[in-house]
Amino acid sequence: MRLQQVTSDVFLAEGIASNWVIARDGTDLTLIDAGYPGDAAGVVASIEQIGHRIEDVRAVLITHAHIDHVGAIPALLELHRVATYADDRELPTLRGEPHEQATTWDVVSRSWRPRVAKWAITVARAGARTEIHVPETQELPGNSALDLPGGPIPISCPGHTSGHTAYLLPAAGAVVTGDALITGHPIVGTDGPQLLPGFFSHDSAAAVTALDALADIRADTLLPGHGPVWRGTLHDAVATAVARARG
């Protein structure tokens, strides 16, 4: 786990093969996403590294219900019972109903390269093939600022999954974009704002359209689900990703 302080009260952690974000308000924290099942100890470590305890987490926000973003949540809830929230279109997946995730095998079989094989082994070890459910997750109470540390504002950006949601942290001028807009991935390398390779997404055309929802956000820091922090306007980040998607 590698932790980066983005602003005085916002932190991005890079786990085994995905990121999570911590927003702080005094003694209280909001956790956004939580890595793979194998990242549970890393999530706890990230909280302790900034001088807090798991008990300081007031809620967990979910960008989308993929294993690399919700994997450690059940283990964390065992340590500290707290509310979890996601868009209502993610809730069936979180309850264990049929879902929209590319399996590791889908990815490997469609893109057999050494880099992909290495990634597949890493994520298998991190628990990519475990079934993770967070059935108690509640629907986000709306699309205005949530009464949680960091005052996160949910921004619906469906495409990668049907209920994919980004979160604007207004005071930090940062947007947690999950898998709607990333800045690198082990199977493609790291090269600025981009979409995930199409085979990861439920609807890749919608994933491009979803970027419109992000382009107008007034923020100058991008906190992606995969890849490093990127500084610049969301407008520029989206333009870069769209140009790249069109090749």
Give which of 122, 232, 96 is closest to 173, Cα–Cα: 232
- Quick one: 29 or 65, whose CB is closer to Zn ion? 65
Integer Cα distance of 195 and 233 in angstroms: 16
Burial 200-235, CB ≥16 within 10 A → b, else e: bbbbbebbbebbebbbebebbbbbbbbbbbbeebbe
Q: How far is the CB of 205 from Zn ion (least distance, A)?
A: 16
Strands (E), 78-224: 83-86, 138-139, 153-156, 165-169, 174-178, 182-185, 189-194, 221-224
Q: How far is the CB of 238 from Zn ion (least distance, A)?
A: 18
Which of positions 19-48 make contact with Zn ion (CB under 5 A)?
none
Q: How far is the CB of 126 from Zn ion (least distance, A)?
A: 14
Query: Using the rule CB under 5 A, is 185 a contact of Zn ion?
Result: no
Query: Using the rule CB under 5 A, is 9 a contact of Zn ion?
Result: no
Which of positions 143-162 make contact with Zn ion (CB under 5 A)?
none
Query: Using the rule CB under 5 A, is 179 a contact of Zn ion?
Result: yes
Q: What is the total count of residues that contact Zn ion (CB under 5 A)?
A: 2
Q: How far is the CB of 29 from Zn ion (least distance, A)?
A: 23
Which of positions 52-111 make contact with Zn ion (CB under 5 A)?
66
Using the Cα atoms of residue 131, residue 132, residue 137 and residue 143 in order, give the sign of their dihedral. negative
Using the Cα atoms of residue 214, residue 142, residue 163 and residue 10 in order, give the sign of their dihedral. positive
- Quick one: 58 or 164, whose CB is closer to Zn ion? 164
- Quick one: 24 or 66, whose CB is closer to Zn ion? 66
Of 51-59, 111-119, 127-135, 172-180, the segment contacting Zn ion by CB under 5 A is 172-180
Binding site for Zn ion (CB under 5 A): 66, 179
